[in-house]
Structure 1
Amino acid sequence: MVLQLEEVSLRRDGKWILQNVNWKIEKGDHWVLFGLNGAGKTAILNLLNAEYFPTKGKVNVLGKEFGKTYLGEKLRRLIGFVSSSIQQKFYQVDNAFEIVLSGGFASIGLYETPTDEMREKAISLLKEMGCIDYANRNYGTLSQGEKQRVLIARALMADPALLILDEPTNGLDFIAREHLLESIEKIANKPDAPTIIYVTHHVEEILPVFNKTILLKAGQVFRAGNTDEMISSEILSQFFDLPVDVNWKNSRPSLSKLQMVEK
């Protein structure tokens, strides 16, 4: 078991942000966490990163129950996290190579001397993510897509058991988005791949490797299960309270609104 949320509810500032969330992730599955803005996706991610603790219920990640077990640095390194909030924390003058290396220490900035083995691994990851050509460029000069690639490489430095990608294609044009998705798909298809949670509100970003999907709506689980069943015209029309049509092509879905015919 990689992750288990049992009847999890979260109250912040007098408001229930999550209510009775149940979610179980087993090793070998890759999940999409799908929901519109304000659905509670960020709240769940904050729980998984132990920034929040549930008001009710249990959060168990990689065999550790949050709130009852000392998480420790070792466990935190087993959770790779890439998000726009983290992207803003890095030093603009550090180069891409240094950013990736810092992932081996789970630090913002490089304060320890990396081993030769760590340097070799960082170079390998930079190549794997297509970032080696700008390894020596300052982080602050990189484009949004380049930064995301570097941060994914950084997250992989500690060989995480769980990799969380929070809206990783935000701000990318179509070409940059597809190139990044291609890299993510390669990571997911590796035999030693971490379990991936891909957070999005764009149906067209759902790759074939994401075999499971959880639909989050207004802080509650709307449905969860196999992606090809969850991402369907019938279920998403109920989810959006709007008639929509889901079209699958090359194992990727696209979404369009159905035109209502006046009687």
Structure 2
Amino acid sequence: MTTAPVLQAQDVAVVRDGSTILSEVSLTVRTGEHWALLGPNGAGKTTLLALLGALVHPTRGTVEVLGHRLGRVDLRQLRSCVGHVNPRHDLRSARTVHDVVLTGVTNTLEPVPRWAPAPEQVALADRLIDLLGLGHRREARWPALSQGERGRTLIARALMPSPRLLLLDEPATGLDVAGREQLVERLDTLQRTYPDLASVLVTHHLEELPPGTTHVLLLRDGRALASGPVDEVLTSDQISKCFDHPVRLTRTEGRWAVTAHPAPRSRLR
């Protein structure tokens, strides 16, 4: 039996100050699917993720998140049911990794005064910290964390309410090769550990995609260029069209790589 969609966007458009950012984009995400939103800078990826995370309303079209249509539900309540990971987390105090993860329960930047987590919430935070490879950094403070450690901390934080949906907005931004590989490894572990979790990851680098990616939406100039199962969409031809540059796409042990594929030079006379 087909399960109800976790996310469904139908012919959505977003217009801001007279400029069209998204136009006629549709997307359906079901339980256990792991989508990637790919496209060049300015393609509309982050705007679409904001719609899917109930952060903004579409100008036209409909968006349903966890069975609730935007415009007919309290967005604040709906957002508390979605794990949204934004690497630009504006935390300014020197909280520990454990403290930051626990703020996922209250969905606040800082711990709520006079609030104390239940023992099962503390235990869950510890399990998630271990799952994201941060057990040795549990008491490390936010300013002392690397960019990669911060990103993995925020993923653990987003999982505290046990969401059915996880949204990741360019989680590998600013990471070196080691940080990126640690992130991809932990995302792959996460997908296998929570088989019913659906996720949507925004990136413009195919090397950042976990092996468990199941579906892809290619965006260009605010429109969907292609959408569907990963093996059908991630082709050299499609990626070349999306990024307006000839490339060759290869896949080894579940990971993708892109190399330049220049057009043949004309023969010299």
TM-score range normalised by the length of the shorter chain:
over 0.9
1: CA distance, partners of 2:224 / 2:262: 28
CA contact (8 A) 2:187 2:210 kept: no
2:106 match: 105
SS state at 2:105 partner:
coil
Q: Give SS of 2:219's match.
A: strand
Match of 1:4 in 2: 8
Is 1:59 the counterpart of 2:63? The answer is yes
- 1:171 aligns to what? 174
- Range 43-52 or range 30-39, more displaced: 43-52
Amino acid at match of 1:203: L
For 1:257 and 1:189, how far apart are their aligned partners in 2?
32
Runs ≥4 in structure 1, deviation > 4 angstroms?
none
1:77 shift after superposition: 2.3
Report the 3-state secondary structure (helix = DSSP H, G, I; strand = E; otherwise coil) of the residue aligned with 2:129.
Answer: helix
Q: How many residues align?
A: 260
Gaps of 5+ in 1: none
Give the match for residue 29 of structure 1. 33
User: How far did residue 192 of structure 1 move?
Assistant: 4.2
Deviations 1:71-119 (A, max 9, x none): 453x32221011223x2x2233111111001101111111121111111
Q: Does 1:213 align with 2:216?
A: yes
Gapped runs of 5+ residues in structure 2?
A: none
CA offset at residue 241 of structure 1? Answer: 2.5
1:257 is displaced (CA, Å) by 1.4
Q: Deviations over 1:170-224 (max 9, x none)?
A: 1111112111110000111124442011111001122221110000111111100
Return the TM-score normalized by structure 2: 0.92
Alignment map for 1:75-224 (pairs within 5 Å): 75-85=78-88, 87=89, 89-111=90-112, 112-224=115-227
Do 2:33 and 2:197's aligned partners in 1 also have CA atoms closer than 8 Å? Answer: no
Rounded to whole Å, the distance in 2 between the matches of 1:162 and 1:215 is 20
Specify the code of the residue in structure 2 equivalent to 1:57.
G
Could you tell which deviates more after superposition, 200-209 or 184-193?
Answer: 184-193
RMSD across aligned positions (CA): 1.4
Give TM-score, length-normalised by structure 1: 0.94
Cα distance, 1:215–1:141 mapped onto 2, change above 3 Å: same
Q: Deviations over 1:22-69 (max 9, x none)?
A: 111111211011111100011112222333211110010110000122
Q: Percent identity?
A: 36
Kindly state the Cα deviation for residue 137 of structure 1 after the two structures are TM-superposed: 1.9
CA–CA distance in structure 1, aligned partners of residues 194 and 148 of structure 2: 26
